Amino acid sequence: MNGRASGSKSDRAHIPVLCDEVVALLDPQAGETYADGTAGLGGHAAAIAPLLGPSGRIVLNDLDPGNLEKATARVRAAADEAGADGLEIIAVHGSFAALPAELESRGIRVDCFLADLGFASNQVDDPERGLSFQAEGPLDMRLDPTRGETAADLVNRLEERDLADLIFRFGEERLSRRIAQKLVEARRFDPIHTTTRLADIVRSAYPVAMARKSRIHPATRTFQALRIAVNGELDHLDRLLQAIERGSEAARRAPEGETGSWLACGARVGIIAFHSLEDRPVKQSFVDFASRDLVDRLTRKPIVAGDAEASGNPRARSAKLRGVRVVCPGSSR
Ligand SMILES: C[S@@+](CC[C@H](N)C(=O)[O-])C[C@H]1O[C@@H](n2cnc3c(N)ncnc32)[C@H](O)[C@@H]1O
C-alpha cells in the first residue's frame, strides 16, 4: 500500500514542520536507528528513511493507530523509492511516554529520536475527532480513539471548580471561572456532546466587546485545555523527559555499546513544541541535563520556521525545535 496514493486530501496536505532543520539536527547516518515518537503521517520519517539506507532501522510510534498505519506505508514507500528496501520498519502503537521502556525491552538503542508534539492536520480536519470548533462533531478529542475518557465525558463529569482549574491551567484562559459556570449551567438541562455546542457556550461566557476584540475565537483556549487534559499531554511529555534523563545517565555510566539504555551514546534528540506549556519543560529539562553533563545542547535558542515556511504553513509559525546530544563516557567536552 502506498500511503501517499491512498491518503485523503488532508493526509496529502500534511506538511512536516521544520523538516530540513530536523534532518540537520538529528544528522541521521547510514545504518543507524531512528525512532519517531509521533509518527503522524510519516513526513519527518519519510525524509529520514533514505539517509539510514538499507541497513538502517526506523521505529514508528503513535497514539493514533490510523496515523501509524499511514506513516508506515509512507515511510516504506520512501525507503523503497530511495533504494533502501532493506530498511527495517517497526511500528509501535502507544504513547511516546511508554516507548523508551518498550525499546529497552526489545534491546533497541536509538541514534536519533524525534517528538513532534500535538496533533496532525488530518486529525484536526476530521470533524469526527472533535478537535476543532470549526465543524460540528462529537466532543471526543482523543488522539487514541481506542481508549480513555472523551472531552464530553470530562465536561459532563467534572465539578465546576475542577473544570475551571483545568481550563485555566491547560488553556491559560483568564475567563475560566465564568466558562466553567456556563458549562455547568448548560449541562444541567442537556449534557454537552458536540463541538459546536461547547464553542457556543464558551462564547456566551465572553463579554460581547471582548469576544469582538479577540484575535482568536473565544473557544480556542478551552479547546486546547480539554485536548491537553483528555490526552494527558503534559504528563506524557514529562515522562518522556524523565526517560531522556534516565537514558542519558545510563548511556554515560555504562561502557560503550552496553548501555542497557534506549539511547545510544551520542544519540541526537529533538522535540518540537507548539506552545509555552510544552516548550517550557523541554527547555528547562535540556538546560538541567546539560548542566549535569548528561547531554550537549544542540540548540541554544529554539529553531523556528523561516518566513517562507511560516507563510505557507500556519502551524509552523508557533513551532519551536530544541535538541540535545547524549554525552558518551570519557568524551572530552
Ligand atoms: C504533529 S503530528 C506529527 C507529524 C509527523 N512528525 C509527520 O511528519 O507527519 C503529531 C502526532 O503525534 C501523535 N501523538 C500526540 N501525542 C502523542 C503521544 N503522547 N504519544 C505518541 N503519539 C502522540 C498524534 O496522534 C499525531 O499523529
Shortest-distance atom of ligand 1 to CA 236? 19
**Strands, E assignment, 237-291:** 263-273
Contact 44, 73 (CB under 8 A): no
The three three-digit cell numbers of residue 277, written as one number: 506549556
Which pLDDT does position 253 carry in this prediction? 81
For atom 7 of ligand 1, the residue with the nearest CA is 43
For helices 233-253 and 220-230, angle between their N-to-C axes, nearest 10 degrees: 50
To the nearest whole percent, how much of the chain has pLDDT over 90? 86
Which pLDDT does position 331 carry in this prediction? 65
Domain that residue 206 falls in: 145-230
Question: Does ligand 1 come within 6 angstroms of the Cβ of 64?
Answer: yes
Domain count, the chain: 2
Q: What is the CATH number of the domain that holds 202?
A: 1.10.150.170
Distance (Å) from CA 39 to ligand 1 centroid:
6
Phi-psi region of 19 (alpha: psi -120 to 50; beta: other; left: phi over 0): alpha
Is 333 a domain residue?
Answer: no
Q: Is there a single domain that holds both residue 214 and residue 238?
A: no
Is 130 a domain residue?
Answer: no
Distance (Å) from CA 152 to ligand 1 centroid:
22
Which pLDDT does position 255 carry in this prediction? 54
Last residue of a domain, one of 210, 230, 250: 230
Q: Is there a single domain that holds both residue 260 and residue 222?
A: no
CB neighbour list of residue 254: distance below 8 Å, 6 or more residues apart? 260, 261, 329
What parts of the chain have a pLDDT lower than 70? 1-14, 255-259, 330-333
Which pLDDT does position 208 carry in this prediction? 81
Using alpha carbons only, what angle is made at residue 138 by residues 180 and 217, rounded to the nearest 5 degrees? 50
Is 139 a domain residue?
Answer: no
Q: Is there a single domain that holds both residue 113 and residue 218?
A: no
Is 138 a domain residue?
Answer: no
Contact 17, 305 (CB under 8 A): yes
Question: Does ligand 1 come within 6 angstroms of the Cβ of 270?
Answer: no
Distance (Å, whole) CA 142 – CA 123:
10
Q: Which stretch of DSSP H or E encloses residue 325?
A: strand 320-326
The three three-digit cell numbers of residue 64, written as one number: 493514533
Distances (CA, A) of 196 to 113, 156, 167, 282: 37, 15, 17, 33
Is 293 a domain residue?
Answer: yes
Q: Is there a single domain that holds both residue 178 and residue 98?
A: no
Which pLDDT does position 123 carry in this prediction? 95
Question: Does ligand 1 come within 6 angstroms of the Cβ of 168?
Answer: no
pTM value is 0.94
